[in-house]
Amino acid sequence: MGDSVIKGRGLSPGKATAEVAVCDQLISPLGEISREGFITSGPCENTGITGKILAFKGGRGSTVGSYTFLELKSRNIAPAGLINEAAEQMVVTGAIISDIPMVDRVPLDIFSNGDRISIDGTSGELSISNVTEKKVATVYLVHDGKLLLLKRSESSTSYPGQYSGISGYIEEGETPEETARREMIEECGIYEASLKHLGREIYVRSDGILYEITPMIMETKSNEVKLNEENSNYVWVDSEKLQTYATVPKFKQTFELLIASSQ
């Protein structure tokens, strides 16, 4: 496969490699995909899907829509593969009866139109060619009910001047928790913290880099922070005030998911 491997859920077996067509909308195959292999409504109107891997939010509409893919397949103008953020059974059925590989549980914002990608509908894995994957651990550090935000240095190579948690690249042989504890010491001078919840990986795309981020909540008894050169400022905040800070992509969303999944 390509340079970066993303973990989705396999829904229809088979493998495909092709250019991706990204469509950030729900699609009703019956009525919104033409017999000529074009999307006919919404922001992706007139987008051709023949021979491409079609990445879209998910399906809607009549269960008869399954046969749209089968008809396209019989005429050799079907998509090479399907990717959904959250699959609906009608689309899954259409993929299976048409022998089109399909995966879901993949965010659309990691793709750019024209990316060449590979999918495996059995394992659920997919890859983006010529995109480098970097594995990162991010700590949402809590003290006395408040969350630590670090303001990234203006000289930072990624997201300068924005607020984030404690983050660092996972080195070979390290677990995400080991990376987190190393970074807490290096970035904040904090040596003691307990792991409260380890979350599922999330993905953030920045040009030719795909960050695979393992988020976690940790709790410390100390609010004393000794910054190194990576960050220029810090603040302990109530979580409901997160939206008032300019944070790195998906920071607030990921924290909300962590809280929900930890309960």
Write the pLDDT tens digit of every residue in 32-77. Answer: 999 999 999 999 999 999 999 999 999 999 899 999 999 999 999 9
- CA dihedral (194, 196, 197, 203) in degrees, to 10, reads -50
| Residue 193: per-residue pLDDT | 97
Domain ranges of the chain: 4-128, 132-262
Is the per-residue pLDDT at 3 higher than 70? no
Give 98-152 pLDDT, tens digit per residue. 999 999 999 999 999 989 999 999 999 999 998 989 999 999 999 999 999 999 9
Is the per-residue pLDDT at 4 higher than 90? no
Q: Shortest CA distance to 32 belongs to which of 54, 60, 12, 9?
A: 60
| Residue 196: per-residue pLDDT | 96
Is the per-residue pLDDT at 80 higher than 50? yes
Residue 35 CB: number of other CB atoms within 10 A? 10
Q: How confident is the model at residue 2 (pLDDT cuts 50, 70, 90)?
A: very low
Whether domain 4-128 has CATH 3.50.30.10: the reply is yes
- pTM metric for this prediction: 0.84
Token reading at 206: 């920045």
Token reading at 39: 């999307």
Catalytic residues: 62
Question: E strands of 60-122, at which residues?
Answer: 81-84, 102-104, 116-120
Give 175-228 pLDDT, tens digit per residue. 999 999 999 999 999 999 999 999 999 999 988 899 999 999 999 999 999 999
Q: Shortest CA distance to 234 belongs to which of 248, 220, 222, 224?
A: 224
Q: Which fold has domain 132-262?
A: Nucleoside Triphosphate Pyrophosphohydrolase (3.90.79)
Is the per-residue pLDDT at 11 higher than 60? yes
Token reading at 112: 């750019």
